[in-house]
Amino acid sequence: MTTDGIWSYAPESAHAEGLDLSGFTVTASDGVIGHVDRQADHFGMRHLVVDTGVWIFGRSVLVPVGVVTGVDAENATITVACTRAEVKAAPRFHTDSETMDPAYLSGVGDYYRRLPPRETTTA
């Protein structure tokens, strides 16, 4: 189990434990990324699988919850501390078996950890 901050919601994100985020709209600093397909916690690495719709040719992306800066349950929106291009450039997500692979998840965490810090805002 990891205690790495990239895999944990920031206290200021307003995330409520137990809240089902499925269907929530995910917004980057420069526009909508897509909708949460599901949330998962494998090996203590909590993340969201986000369906991008047609934006990235219908592919899904994996987003560690540590980049979530705001959760607005009333409006079903999530804000993340990255741009659409940064999400698009993240390690490619192919299959659900990858979410069970600690090496793949570590690579995703390393990618998001290296992104430049952004000002924290809430959804």
In order of their start, the domains of the chain are 5-113 (2.30.30)
**Amino acid type, 89:** A
Task: Read off the pTM.
Answer: 0.85
The whole-number pLDDT of residue 3 equals 46
pLDDT the model gives residue 2 = 44
Query: Phi-psi category of 43—alpha, beta or left, where left has phi over 0 and alpha has psi -120 to 50?
Result: left
Residue 123 has pLDDT above 60, yes or no: no
pLDDT > 80? residue 4: no
